Every structure is written in C-alpha cells, then in structure tokens.
Amino acid sequence: MRIGLVLPKVPAYSETFFLNKIKGLEKHGHSVVVFVNSSEKRQNSSFKVKVAPKLYGNKLKVGIVSISKLLYAFLFHFKGSFRLFKLLRKDGMSFLQSIKNIISNVHILSETLDWLHFGFGTMALNKEYVAKAIGAKMAVSFRGFDIGMYPLKNPNCYAKLWENVDKIHVISNDIEELVYKNGFNGKASIVKITPAIDTTFFKKRAQQVTTVPTNFITIARLHWKKGLVYTLEALAILKKEGIPFHYTLIGDGTEMERLKFAAYQLGISNQITFSGKIPHESIKDKLQNSDVYLQYSIQEGFCNAVLEAQAMGLLCIVSDAEGLSENIIDKETGWVVPSCNPRLLANKIKEVIRLEESEKKSVSLNAQKRVKEHFNLEKQQLEFVNFYI
C-alpha cells in the first residue's frame, strides 16, 4: 500500500510517534509519502517528502507560483484536479476558491495513494475532498488540541470532514468522546491507538529508593494547557505546611515569565529549578534523579512524558484532563486528581509521599509493567499496520 501522511512539518527526531509509525509501515512493505507545509531542512529519511506550495509573502512570487502550479495540476494530473474541482463546486464553493484549493493541494494531487492520513484534525481543514479526488481513502488522527480546543474557537469546523472521512484515529477514549461531541455522525469507524515510547530506552536503573520522596519533576512545553500555574500553587501550599521538596520544571515556552513570576509571588522560587529545554537524552538522567512526576494539565491528549516517567519507575500524579486518566490508572499505576484545583493536588502529593514504602513500590512496579506491555513501540507499529486494512 502507498500511504500519504499530512503533517505540519517533517517529524523531528524526538517525535517518536510519527517516526515509529512510518518505520512500522515500511517494515511491513508499505511505502510512505509525507506532505508538509514548511520546507525546513530535514534529515535524510527513508520516506518521500513533499512540500506544499508557498502561497504567502511577496505577491508577485505567489502569483507566479499559483499560475505555474495550476498549469502543472491540470496538464499532468488532470483527472484528480478536475475531480477535486467538481467536488468543491458541488459543495457550493465559488469558482475562484475552488481553483485556489486545487493550487494549495497540488503536492498531494500529484501522488497516487491508497490512504491519505491527516496527522491532526486541523490539517484536514480545506482538504476534505482531496482524498476522494485522487481515489484514496481518507483517515484523520485526533490528538487533543485539534478536537478539545480548536472547535471552541471555530464551531462546526469539522462538518465537512465527518462527511468524507473513512477512518478516524484517536489516542484515547476521551478524545473519542470529544469527536462525538463535536458533531461526528458515526459514519466512519474510530480506532484508538495510544501513543507509545521506547521502553528499552526508558527503563528503571536499579537504585536505592528514597524513603521520603522530595524531588518532583515535570517535563512540558511551558504552555497554559499544561496547568503549571496550578501546579506551582499546589507546591506553595506544601511549602506553607512545612513539607520539604524540590521541583524541577523542564521545558521552554511562552509561559516562562508567568511561571517565574508566580514562583516568586508564591514564595517558592528557591524550591524550583527552571531547566529550560534540554536534550532528549538528558531527560532520562533528570527522571532518574526524581521521585515524583507531576502532570497537572488543563488539557492533554495523552502525554508521552507521563509514559516515560512511569517506565522510569517514578510515582506519577496527574490531572484528569482527557487522555491522562487513561494514561494512569488511579491508585494502581499512579494517581489521578481533578484538574484546576491546587488544594486537591497538594493533598494528593502529601498522601503519596507519606505512603508506606511497599505501597509506593507496588504502584511503581505496576506502572512500569503496564507501560512496557501496553505502550511499546512494536505494539503501536502493528496497530497502525492493521489500521489501514
């Protein structure tokens, strides 16, 4: 089979999810074409990469690109282009808009595919008819932000998608629920394939377990949806109650100023290390030196970092945002706390660090075992191969 994958950009080395999927498909004899928007430099890859035409910036350039791409589409890929034009016109799109749509999708129209898979729901917007035009089946992945947040700002944005999609991939049950909540008509089948991690890399090293866990850690993009202000507020409660701890926050992002100020205002600057972004390889060491992993997100698709922390044997306390309550089984492989409530989080942290040694050990072992069995790369690869059958 020949499978086209539509993504914002070529997956970076750290984006195991996509790379592993591609690897798995190739291993099973399929070929993969990746369609991207930005033409950044990329590493050598086994798969073909096609970049969308650049339709912004200098108007003259855009004009020249548009005309040449349009001519190319109709001269060399007439069937697909004309079919797309007809589908769009039938849908009520104006003549000019239909032509524009053909131009912006020319990089996909020129390929022969069995499946066209959009890596995020938002990637499929304005491309709802492309798969049909080239005679391919259409698949879409929903991962969190695209279904939890985007439709709030753009109500009904997926109406056309629901009409045209052949198969939907979600990363958790909560995301599936959100798909239905956002108007999905049930016409296509939904398949859940959770994220996975390299369980041979993230493995607990034998070490002495600290009796009183005091090193807390979070690895996250510093974005509001990660609920980090709530996390800091919970830690401030702990400090007030005289509980010793040190918190390491790894990651960078737009919220740095907000978080540093919150830490200062809450009087916990000395208990926090803002590590910024660190190389993927060093993350393992940081996890190794920590006891409790916190992921108190407001909105979260699934969260690979929590899987990695579990694999490393950390005690994980997470919020109940979307996929997190599936990532962690409450009281078995970690603890799940209702989101946006620092008092509840603080109480849970206290409860966890005061647990009997044997209880902590048992949860940690359960988590390691579950991640190894259910969230490994091989399993994910197989699930994706089956997805297209």
Partner 1 sequence: MNNPIKIAVYSGVSPSTTFIERLIGGLAKKGLKVFIFGQQNHKKTSSENIFYFTYKNKLSKSLFLIKYCFLLSLYKGKEKKRLDKIILSKKRNSKLLKVKYYPVLYHCPDIFHMQWAKSIEDWMWVQEFGMKLILSLRGTHVTISPIADERWKIKYSEYFHEIDGFHAVSKSMLSISELYGVEFSKMNIVKSGLDLRRLPFNSKTKKSGLVRIISIGRNHWVKGYTYALKCMKFLKEKGIDFHYTIVGVDTNEELLYQRSQFGLKNEVSFIDKMSFEEVLKKISMSNVLLLPSVEEGIANVVLEAMALGTLVVSTDCGGMDEVLTNNENGFIVPIRDAEAMAEALHTVSDLSLENYNKITKAARAFIEKQHSHKKMIQEMNELYKQVINK
Least gap, CB of 65 to partner 1 (angstroms): 27
Where do we find the tokens 């009281």? 331
Integer Rg of the chain from CA: 23
What the block records as the tokens of 104 is 């912006």
Least gap, CB of 242 to partner 1 (angstroms): 20
Least gap, CB of 329 to partner 1 (angstroms): 23
In sequence order, the 6+-apart residues with CB closer than 8 A to the CB of 147 are 121, 175, 178, 179, 182
Which of 176, 233 has the CB closer to partner 1?
A: 233
Identify whether the C-beta of residue 36 lies closer than 8 Å to the C-beta of residue 9.
yes
Size of the chain, expressed as the number of residues it contains:
389
Least gap, CB of 318 to partner 1 (angstroms): 17
Which of 74, 224 has the CB closer to partner 1?
A: 224
Which of 255, 291 has the CB closer to partner 1?
A: 255
Identify whether the C-beta of residue 116 lies closer than 8 Å to the C-beta of residue 1.
no
Which of 194, 295 has the CB closer to partner 1?
A: 295
Dist. CA 219–CA 234, nearest whole Å: 17
Least gap, CB of 236 to partner 1 (angstroms): 9
Which of 78, 264 has the CB closer to partner 1?
A: 264
Least gap, CB of 249 to partner 1 (angstroms): 14
Dist. CA 334–CA 338, nearest whole Å: 14
Which of 81, 182 has the CB closer to partner 1?
A: 182
* CA neighbor of 22 nearest in space, from 14, 32, 12, 13: 32
Which of 236, 294 has the CB closer to partner 1?
A: 236
Identify whether the C-beta of residue 368 lies closer than 8 Å to the C-beta of residue 12.
no
Instruction: Return the ∠ at Cα 222 (arms to 217 and 223), rounded to 5°.
Output: 130
Least gap, CB of 258 to partner 1 (angstroms): 5
What the block records as the tokens of 289 is 């030196």
- Which residues in this chain contact partner 1 in the complex, by CB under 8 A? 148-149, 152-153, 224-225, 229, 233, 255-258, 260-262, 264-266, 298-299, 340
Identify whether the C-beta of residue 132 lies closer than 8 Å to the C-beta of residue 160.
no
Q: Give me the amino acid identity at 242.
A: G
Dist. CA 41–CA 37, nearest whole Å: 12
